[in-house]
Amino acid sequence: MPQNGALTESKKRIISLLRQRGSLTKKELSQRSGLGWATVVKAMRELMDEKLVISKGTNLSRTHAKGKNAYVYALNPQTPLIVGIDVEHTLTTLLLTGLEGSVFLQKQLPTPQGNGERMIDFLTGCIEESLDRFHRDPKDLAGIGIGLPGLTFPTTPWRANLEKAKRVEQTLAQHFHTKVRVDTNTNAYALYARWNLPQFQERDFLFVSIRTGIGTAIFSNGNLFRGESSLSGGVGHMKVVPAGSVCHCGGKGCLETVVNQNILLRQYREKVIGLPLSPEAFSDRQLVSQELQDLFQKALDGNPAAQRILKRAGTYLGKAFVNAISLLGIEHILISGYFGEEAAPLIEPIQATVRKALLRREDIPITYVPFDPLGHTQGAVMLILSEYLSDPLR
């Protein structure tokens, strides 16, 4: 691992290329990166000293101009390791990965209920068990990234909330002697989308996650804007129904009280297929995903009840988005949910509401991308991994 902290941009560019291409010669690295030969040679020497890059020997198909076989280099598949953890209210997912992208371990455990100290003990045990299983030492870790729902403590004031999250970060960093980054699951997934979705190449955008709540993240100039509270972008708690229902945040009429995946699922059961819905169904992720996809497909097929449900939801989302667009000057919105491959019945009423309310009367580009099942956990990995990579959009 780097001895002086942050990697240089040259090293990040080389690591990014090796991660994309698998293995390259120094000549190929120089050609593809735009770095000079001397810069590549120096950076490669240091990366090998830091055990981030290894030589795979010579390759007969790759030769120097003088006819000598060229050495081929690749990222070290054994070290460093990155732990990514996505903590949901009921389920926690952990990935143990390598710098080059290999997944050594994936496991899921029930999330414990209780105070911050219990969460710290739980996370510590998960990480220790994972390292022991592969006979690895904490010194092999590049870092630990953790995504928490609303920073895990949604019923407390934001300052206490942030302090508890920082205590998780500091305690684990001291215990494992490695860097630890703690953020919201929404910010983690937005980071994953920013770095891993080839169909979405924007540096300034609002990311909206529609799960059991409405999570939002703001990207400005390619970087996450977190604000002092680390809870910036709270579109889910903008008031869209003046005399609406009480939200879990204590307010009334918040966007989350009228739009989330559980509300869509309940309305689908009641108004489209006429079947009862047990409370246990909400915790069955596969069932929720399948029935939400059915709702959107029925709307695409012209089912009036399904179309009304999504038009209503889209209108409420549009009202909240108008505020964010007007205040922040946002030019792009990225939405993710468990809705299948096509979300036009939701996107179109959002567009109509936004177009009608904005002074400029223009459409704001809105991109929908289905959730990647491991995207939140891969996003937790990206909290660490992004410090090793060159920004693909710079």
pLDDT digits (tens, 9 = 90+) for 145-200: 999 876 444 455 556 667 788 899 999 999 999 999 999 888 999 999 888 887 77
Is 315 a member of any domain?
A: yes
Terminal-to-terminal C-alpha distance of the chain: 25
Residue 280 pLDDT level (bands cut at 50, 70, 90): confident
DSSP class of residue 140 equals G
How many Å apart are CA 381 and CA 196, to the nearest integer? 12
- How far is C-alpha 61 from the geometric centre of its chain's CA atoms? 39
Name the token pair of 167: 């205590």
Indicate the SS3 state at residue 214: strand
Residue 253 and residue 329 share a domain: yes
Report the number of distinct structural domains present in the chain. 3
Mean local confidence (pLDDT), 365-380: 93
Mean pLDDT over the full length of the chain = 87
pLDDT digits (tens, 9 = 90+) for 290-304: 999 999 999 999 999
Residue 341 and residue 225 share a domain: yes
Is 4 a member of any domain?
A: no
pLDDT at position 292: 96
- Mention every residue, 6+ apart, whose C-beta is less than 8 A from residue 94: 83, 84, 85, 105, 106, 107, 108, 109, 126, 127, 130, 377
pTM of the predicted protein model:
0.86
2 has pLDDT over 70:
no
Residue 103 and residue 66 share a domain: no
In terms of phi and psi (left: phi > 0; alpha: psi -120 to 50; beta: otherwise), the region of 115 is beta
Is 104 a member of any domain?
A: yes
Domain span including residue 62: 9-76
Name the token pair of 49: 């000293």
Residue 354 and residue 231 share a domain: yes
If one counts every other C-beta atom within 10 angstroms of the C-beta of residue 156, the result is 15
Residue 158 and residue 21 share a domain: no
pLDDT digits (tens, 9 = 90+) for 328-361: 778 899 999 999 999 999 999 999 999 888 866 6
Residue 116 and residue 14 share a domain: no
Q: Which position has the token pair 């505020």?
A: 323
Is 335 a member of any domain?
A: yes
pLDDT digits (tens, 9 = 90+) for 30-74: 999 999 999 999 999 999 999 999 998 886 555 555 556 788 999
Is 1 a member of any domain?
A: no
Residue 85 and residue 72 share a domain: no
- Mention every residue, 6+ apart, whose C-beta is less than 8 A from residue 28: 21, 62
Q: What is the CATH number of the domain that holds 310?
A: 3.30.420.40
Residue 32 and residue 96 share a domain: no
